[in-house]
Amino acid sequence: MRIKWFSLVRVTGLLLVLLYHFFKQIFPGGFIGVDIFFTFSGYLITALLIDEYAKSEKIELLSFLKRRFYRIVPPLVMMILLIIPFTFLVRNDFRAGIGPQIAAALGFVTNIYEVMTGGNYESQFIPHLFVHTWSLAIEVHFYLVWGILLWLISKRSMTSNQFRGLVFMMSTGFFTLSFLSMFVRSFFTENVSVLYFSTLSHSFPFFLGAMFATMTGVKETTKRFSKNVKLWSQRRVVLSMAGCVALLFLLTFLLDFNHQFTYLFGFVLASLFASLMIYAARVLHEQTPKLQEPAIITFFSDISYGIYLFHWPFYIIFSQVFGNAIAVLMTLLFSIILASLSYYVIEPFIIGKIPILLGLKIDIKPYKKWVFGIVGLLSLLTVITASTAPKVGRFETELLVDSLHQAQNNMNRTHTLAAGDANALSSISIIGDSVALRSSSAFSQLMPEAQLDAAVSRNFDDAYSIFENHIASQTLSRTIVLAVGVNSLENYQESLQQFIDGLPDGYRIVFVSPYNAANAAKVAEVREYELSLAKAYSFVTIADWYKVSVENPAIWSGTDGVHYSDSDTTGATLYVETIQKAIQKAAKKAAKGE
């Protein structure tokens, strides 16, 4: 039994995910689209199991698991096999460690793998091509645990209503446990990805959906639900659905992946709005027996899982080759075609049904040898690629080398100081992020007097802690270079001001304007604000890396738009020279308090 208007729920979740991945700066909270999927899955699976128990007073666990297997695994395998050839369009870094990524995806433990390897949608330099299967891993964990639990309680002798009531109480208990896990742990962790990827902390949307499933059902409905169908006007129901959609979109503009509010209230609000939308859709189905769901909505609902699977790796690959607009169009084209092929042709064929595409029956049997041959070749290519791919990409290797180089330079300075040659220590300190770290060799050559303290993913808060420690230990250099910003573009005004306010008298500070090709408007805004600070404070100088970056587009060829190309030393030289000139300019200006 297909419930009309449920497709709107699926499509809304898919749309938010796509907007988040394609235009993250405009829709920073679009990641809640996954929570809509979670809530809907919890609802639908629970409702179907309740219906099964109401019909036969038992649940066939093996049949349930087989249905989940045939729906989940074939598209996943198809996605992996078809993506591998496309990885040869981009640099080798994207194939680094791809074997474990594939194993994690197929083993449904990607969420655990990403936590162990430090994966994050927000800050990975070389995004994992299969990181998006973290949600599939949690979903499968839910199916296994929930399916087995409901199968076990179905063995008890009880009426259908008693079974429904027990499922409601269990759902409520698991929802509370999971939500409190995310809520409480958010106060004790700095790495929010641990919460985001956690099966325990991020499974409460499933159980909230399950709670709503006990209130309605698919075939077996409740008396309260039947009354609501009669009492609620269609206008009220439609407005309720529209209001939920509006609130979900509002969250996409307001939520920040790294902000604690998201983990305290953001995800649970998204799940609640999704649940209310599901309930309203279920009511609307009963109220519109003669009205058909728009075919285009049904179509995208049918292939939503496939689009979700294909879009992320295609977008990562195409965005390395084309500009964002072309990358988005190419991603949508390939994802829609392959998702349609998977849902309407491959999946029916695997389970023994006759594929039907655009109303036409497709007989694949005469081409079975070709199909199996192509699958075999793709499988062989995947195995070869996984076995020959480097464990660590060139980019990450160079960052490690730069870190060691930085440590060696700082150690040499320490030894020089211990020997009594204080002049070997400079009055210049650079607190930087991965871009500065990537330039460590150039700093050693062009600015050997400067002390570099750079680290991957460093933000304003991290930099300010280092800044305060230097002040407290009286080791603050006379000129401080702040080369961070890309990793913390929100609340940059307050972050920059605290450095200005905290800087002691007699010191100067240089702000390096950030650059990010994928977020040009925001970094341009930060730059303009920093330039205004330089006009307002004599002891503030700007090293205009943004301006230099825009004027030298060649250094960004084939990069992520944040870290310049490693094909030569031009980017590193330009970066260090920009800072060097700013320091020379700052030396001619008055220090703070002078």
Q: What's the pLDDT tens digit per position in 88-133?
A: 998 888 888 899 999 999 999 999 998 887 765 555 556 889 999 9
Q: Given strand 451-454, what is the order of strands in its sheet?
A: 451-454, 428-432, 479-483, 508-512, 540-543
Which residues are 483's β-sheet partners? 432
Rounded distance between C-alpha atoms, residue 139 and residue 63, angstroms:
18
Q: What's the pLDDT tens digit per position in 504-544?
A: 998 999 999 999 887 778 888 999 999 999 999 999 999 99
Beta-carbon contacts of 174 under 8 Å, excluding residues fewer than 6 positions away, are: 203, 204, 207
> For the chain, what are the domain ranges?
1-59+154-289, 64-134+291-391, 394-587
Share of the chain above pLDDT 70, in %: 92
Give the 3-state secondary structure of residue 361: strand
Rounded distance between C-alpha atoms, residue 127 and residue 316, angstroms:
7
For residues 394-401, average pLDDT: 52
Judge whether residue 571 has pLDDT over 90: no
One-letter amino acid for residue 481 of the chain: V
Q: The tokens of 197 are what?
A: 């990827």
Beta-carbon contacts of 108 under 8 Å, excluding residues fewer than 6 positions away, are: 133, 136, 137, 140, 141
Instruction: For the beta carbon of residue 431, count every other beta carbon within 10 angstroms.
Output: 26
Q: What's the pLDDT tens digit per position in 330-359?
A: 999 999 999 999 999 999 988 888 888 777
Beta-carbon contacts of 340 under 8 Å, excluding residues fewer than 6 positions away, are: 303, 306, 357
For the whole model, what pTM was predicted? Answer: 0.80
Q: The tokens of 347 are what?
A: 């999946």
What pLDDT is attached to residue 416? 40
Q: Is-contact 246 265, C-beta < 8 A?
A: no
Rounded to a whole number of angstroms, the distance between the first and last alpha carbons of the chain is 79
Q: How far is CA 527 from CA 458, 482, 546, in A?
A: 18, 13, 7
Distant-in-sequence contacts of 138-142, Cβ < 8 A, 24+ apart: 138/38, 138/111, 138/199, 138/202, 138/203, 139/37, 139/38, 139/41, 139/72, 139/206, 140/68, 140/72, 140/108, 141/108, 141/199, 141/203, 142/38, 142/41, 142/42, 142/45, 142/199, 142/203, 142/206
SS (H, E, C) 443-479: HHHHCCCCEEEECCCCCHHHHHHHHHHHHHCCCCCCE
Radius of gyration of the chain (CA): 28
Write the burial class of residue 358 (CB in 10 Å: 0-12 exposed, 13-18 middle, 19+ buried).
Answer: exposed
- Torsion angle of the four alpha carbons 36, 37, 40, 45, in this order, in degrees rounded to the nearest 10: -160
What pLDDT is attached to residue 179? 97
What pLDDT is attached to residue 590? 87
Q: By mean pLDDT, which of 132-136, 399-403, 447-451, 464-468 is the weakest? A: 399-403
Helix (H) or strand (E) holding 483: strand 479-483
Judge whether residue 497 has pLDDT over 90: yes
What pLDDT is attached to residue 190? 78
What pLDDT is attached to residue 120? 58
* Of the ranges 247-251, 290-294, 561-565, 576-580, the best mean pLDDT one: 247-251
Q: The tokens of 236 are what?
A: 């009220």
Judge whether residue 419 has pLDDT over 60: no
The backbone torsions φ and ψ at residue 284, rounded to the nearest 5 degrees and listed phi first, read -65, -35
Angle, in degrees to the nearest 10, between helices 110-117 and 134-153:
130
Q: What is the overall mean pLDDT for the chain? A: 88
Closest to 167 measured CA to CA, from 219, 216, 200 = 216
* Residue-wise DSSP of 132-153: GGHHHHHHHHHHHHHHHHHHHH
SS (H, E, C) 219-241: CCCCHHHHHHHHHCCHHHHHHHH
Angle, in degrees to the nearest 10, between helices 267-287 and 204-215:
30
Beta-carbon contacts of 530 under 8 Å, excluding residues fewer than 6 positions away, are: 496, 511, 513, 542
What CATH number is given for 394-587 in this structure? 3.40.50.1110
Closest to 280 measured CA to CA, from 328, 228, 323, 332 = 228
The backbone torsions φ and ψ at residue 454, rounded to the nearest 5 degrees and listed phi first, read -125, 150
